[in-house]
Amino acid sequence: MSSILKMLTDQLGGDTTKQISHQLGADEGATGNAISAALPLLMGALARNSASGDGASSLAGALVRDHDGSILDDVAGFLDDPEGGSGSGILRHVLGGKQQAIETQLGRETGLDAGTIARLLPMLAPLVMGALGRAQREQKLDSSGVASLLDGEKQRAEQAGGLGALAMLLDSDSDGQIADDVAGIGGSLLSKFLRRR
């Protein structure tokens, strides 16, 4: 697993997973599965969005302005009041019109309903952005450096278990309709990954 994803996964395990599942009113095991699935998916979506120069510049600017990594210093405190993390706005930028289909598929594969996934993703998105912001600051990355970092993260996530590929397969036929692609391809990858846990 890549370094940023490993750090996030470690930080969101154990008691933090319990806290999130309590917030969601959901089964702890299913919540853990959903977290493990959602983190690389969000990272992959960010990598896809930053593949263009404009996308990379926009993301790097957002990290500098709003995501310095300090959110990771008190994850439990953030999760007590996740509304302050602008998670919904981040998801609109990262996932766009694909968000609902992603929520439905993640719910189907992880044992949580789509409505619960819709509450989970805004909790995770600011943490992913915070981790990227911290890496950007510590490594002194410009926009192209952030894009390269994300591309490396995506590739290592794919190699680790195939789940990272789901982000690239959201619209594999480039028809603008992702529901068929997610269900037909991503679902099998996700199921395979989760069976390994």
Q: What's the average pLDDT block by block, 10 residues per block, for the chain (197 residues)?
A: 80 93 94 91 89 90 90 92 84 88 85 93 95 93 93 79 46 40 40 45
Separation CA 13–CA 25 (nearest Å): 17
DSSP category for residue 1: -
Q: What pLDDT does 121 receive?
A: 95
DSSP category for residue 182: I
Residues 6+ apart with CB under 8 A from 170: 45, 98, 101, 102, 178, 181, 182, 186
DSSP category for residue 26: -
Residues 6+ apart with CB under 8 A from 178: 98, 101, 102, 170, 171
Separation CA 191–CA 103 (nearest Å): 15
Q: What pLDDT does 85 receive?
A: 67
Q: What pLDDT does 193 receive?
A: 42
Q: What pLDDT does 83 receive?
A: 78
Q: What pLDDT does 81 receive?
A: 85
| Separation in Å, CA 126 to CA 30, 109, 123, 143, 177 | 21, 23, 7, 19, 27
* CB < 8 Å & 24+ apart, contacts of 178-183: 178/98, 178/101, 178/102, 179/101, 179/104, 179/105, 182/101, 182/102, 182/105, 183/105
